[in-house]
Structure 1
């Protein structure tokens, strides 16, 4: 994509308008602007001055069928499309600082241009949807697809679920399961889950290829990555900061949508939340005062903050953290909107509810074939029965996604888990820990209860990039990640850590899971036609936010199967980042 800025901008905006995908031509007017539009053929224009008829006609003549978008700064109504070409979207500027204004303008241009580009393809896919009850085969029994199954059953669809892993509750090792069933027994909802992971000018790019022992993210064996995987990393590194902020804003908007949908589920499906460790209220902890200050502003802006605490106030309100306060590791905390569940109990309960409603489960059923090809999908030599397919294979899509736009878009990022006893004084709320500069920088600590009534703390943290193959893990580098998570546990819960080490719980509870990740940090929701004439819907790539966004994803899938549009179908389109990188 190419965005043309046709006027002088303030000095603090220059870094934005001279970056990737943007062409800055100050003081363009009249014939000069026509010449620039025809020469550069930009996809979008940011301007203070409306185009006249000659300019519109000249620019549109270069389009060759592609959309053209104008972000018109200044007064005027809320953003809209007046139906003319190029489409004009007004962006009021009164009282908005210049850097924020141009960040918004660039995001507005990209979002509306891509919506126009992708909209026709999404609409074509939706045309294959039924208009009533249909049969749907769901591939993958992780949390996103199981919540989707519940939504589809409520819509009257006949649902069958296939998963390559063993049935839960058996004797199989955790290593035989995927991320939802194989990771630690805790998941969290907050309004900033699935947050974007992008580099910036201060901290540099996300260190995907740097080994863990050099404060990086790479958990794969040395030299294991091929050109395609390194290209994926480059895609992440190239994202301009304004576009990264726009992507993150889109993700957080769906967290807000998911919050309302979770509230509905808690009210309408109350049995699902019984005996699954449902616990409301999250405490966010910070070791860095600057990070704490910036997050206070952010959490307030998102409507998430319920109160801010100094380190001493944290210790007073949460005595389980008094040792961390005494050791000087806390800068303070923020109490925020959110909840946690014990994910294994939650999913087992959900499977039971679905089975009672007629959903068929096929465990240890490897699905092969191509969702969008004539051969379709099959398992054990038999074609999958279903008008539509919904594929949510996590980091394990591989060849199953061949033929979809999502193929090769999703890589694995490994996280480590361990369990501690919840010793007295017990932690009563689940928490998030931010340790700036630490290898286990972001950690979730979920308060759980085992079948015997004993309380535990399930600690999950760490980022270990595996590349496209989630099994591409170097044992030594994995040990480094486990050690970093153990250090977080020992630092914040020293007594519980010593007890877990002495009893053997620490060692026996260590495990890991591999989460699905995209280079853009935008999750994926792809709508295409399958080989049977119905829909193939692909969901995934939610990095650390699959649980949080699950009901919003389910809503978008349900809309697709009705033939209805949903904003996620465009904003989470798998080609969005690649289309931005398309240069003239």
Structure 2
């Protein structure tokens, strides 16, 4: 089949690679001049299946109220009125129950674990190098209260067969010697030894080059305008460079995906969460992190990428605003300097922001839509790098008409149809799974 993939971030490029390996003729369309130049450009760098957790969790509403008054809050909600934001937040609040959290985290971990294995296979197949390390992730707790609260996550990890280590302060220092100067600020940690790190930008650019060599066509600098549907089936994509015919289309446009599919009556609950990162050159190896340390107090990930430290985190709900806020930079600097003081040269640090495509339940949306030939692979939030390789394999199997290797029915858009009425233009069939709220 002729398959058009919309988006050349890590999700789009891995999808294109797997589709091409499945025997399809693939074209990738992206408005940027190259691959991975938006959300995939400078993310936190962690590949952490065990740390895959939804933001919607018990206690989050109360925590969000407290964060409003914190100088270094992990979640910031801009007060500007936005009906889509309000509707999305209402859906998220509906997932802040213990039962919903358990279901959502379990399926996120399932996909993320599969994705880690898929990335390992892909790395061996291609020989790609992207400053990768397989030395685990350490979730660091500064207080006993935070350490005690890890119990619910440990239950899910244990149920899913995910290896973990619960560490005291000495154990944290053994895993990450660079934390020695911060020993008095560490209550303990949860270490996930199978987690990895790597530069998502380097990986995506390298895989795009391999895909192009294997016959995938990349149309960079090309804006996607709309989808053409004939008789209930997608027929083509209208772009700034003309119309591109397709037997199947994969929407992997991150936060911009909902606007494209909304005219087709698809209510895709993906909203941008603005994240920030700084990339700091290492100037003292002994003080630098070995792998990834997640500072639980600030929800900031500190990752070793070759001769650099990537510090990423926070979630600012501000629509599509991409301005750089110095207050957010101060939070990142405070976290890394408090734990790994003097490891990096802050005077040469680069500051970046990107839009993470979040769903209310934390799980991405992967699979078919009611429009024949139209597929979604989007909404990965903060876990696009973690879930990319596995999501691509699930997507390629579904496009090819094969059963994915993992359970995927609960990853599709259908899980939201019970909660809202999908408005469709005339001429589109109403699937039997649709139910009015």
2:314 aligned partner: 462
Instruction: Tell me by how many angstroms 1:164 deviates.
Output: 0.7
Q: Which of 248, 272, 294 is 1:433 aligned to?
A: 294
Q: Which of 286, 289, 305 is 2:141 aligned to?
A: 286
Q: Which of 314, 328, 335 is 2:172 aligned to?
A: 314
Q: Does 1:415 align with 2:280?
A: no
Paired residues for 1:538-553 under 5 Å: 538-553=376-391
1:259 aligned partner: 116
Structure 1's 163 and 383: CA in aligned 2 closer, same or farther, altered over 3 A? same
**Structure-1 separation of matches of 2:160 and 2:408:** 23
1:63 aligned partner: none
**Structure-1 separation of matches of 2:401 and 2:389:** 18
1:35 aligned partner: none
Q: Is the 8 A contact 1:147 1:550 kept in 2?
A: yes
Q: Does 1:494 align with 2:350?
A: no
Q: Does 1:359 align with 2:202?
A: no
Instruction: Tell me by how many angstroms 1:580 deviates.
Output: 4.5
Moved more, 207-216 or 406-415: 207-216
2:423 aligned partner: none
1:225 aligned partner: 81
Deviations 1:232-262 (A, max 9, x none): 1111112343123212212212122223322
Deviations 1:2-49 (A, max 9, x none): xxxxxxxxxxxxxxxxxxxxxxxxxxxxxxxxxxxxxxxxxxxxxxxx
* Alignment length (residue pairs): 412
Q: Which of 39, 46, 54 is 1:179 aligned to?
A: 39
Q: Is the 8 A contact 1:368 1:377 kept in 2?
A: yes
Q: Secondary structure at the match of 1:358?
A: coil
**Structure-2 separation of matches of 1:202 and 1:139:** 34
Which aligned segments of 4 or more residues in structure 1 are displaced greater than 6 angstroms? Answer: 581-584
Deviations 1:155-198 (A, max 9, x none): 11111111111225xxxxx9xx31012x24x5222223442111
Q: Does 1:536 align with 2:388?
A: no
Q: Does 1:554 align with 2:414?
A: no
Instruction: Tell me by how many angstroms 1:402 deviates.
Output: 2.1
Q: Secondary structure at the match of 1:180?
A: coil
Q: Which of 237, 246, 258 is 1:386 aligned to?
A: 246
**Structure-1 separation of matches of 2:69 and 2:267:** 26
**Structure-1 separation of matches of 2:225 and 2:356:** 21
1:195 aligned partner: 53
**Structure-1 separation of matches of 2:368 and 2:66:** 29
Q: Does 1:238 align with 2:94?
A: yes
**Structure-1 separation of matches of 2:182 and 2:148:** 19
TM-score, length basis structure 1: 0.64
Cα-Cα RMSD: 2.9
Moved more, 308-317 or 148-157: 308-317
Q: Is the 8 A contact 1:372 1:536 kept in 2?
A: no
Structure 2, unaligned runs of 5 or more? 421-434
Q: Is the 8 A contact 1:371 1:400 kept in 2?
A: no
Rg larger in structure:
1
**Structure-2 separation of matches of 1:362 and 1:553:** 22
Q: Which of 516, 525, 542 is 2:366 aligned to?
A: 525
Instruction: Tell me by how many angstroms 1:140 deviates.
Output: 0.1
**Structure-2 separation of matches of 1:205 and 1:315:** 29
Deviations 1:357-376 (A, max 9, x none): 01111111101113646774
Deviations 1:263-314 (A, max 9, x none): 3223333x12x3x111002231221224334537344554444544321333
Q: Does 1:330 align with 2:186?
A: yes
Structure 1's 583 and 238: CA in aligned 2 closer, same or farther, altered over 3 A? farther
**Structure-2 separation of matches of 1:227 and 1:163:** 28
Q: Which one has more relative contact order, counting CA pairs under 8 Å at least 6 apart? A: 2
Instruction: Tell me by how many angstroms 1:481 deviates.
Output: 2.0
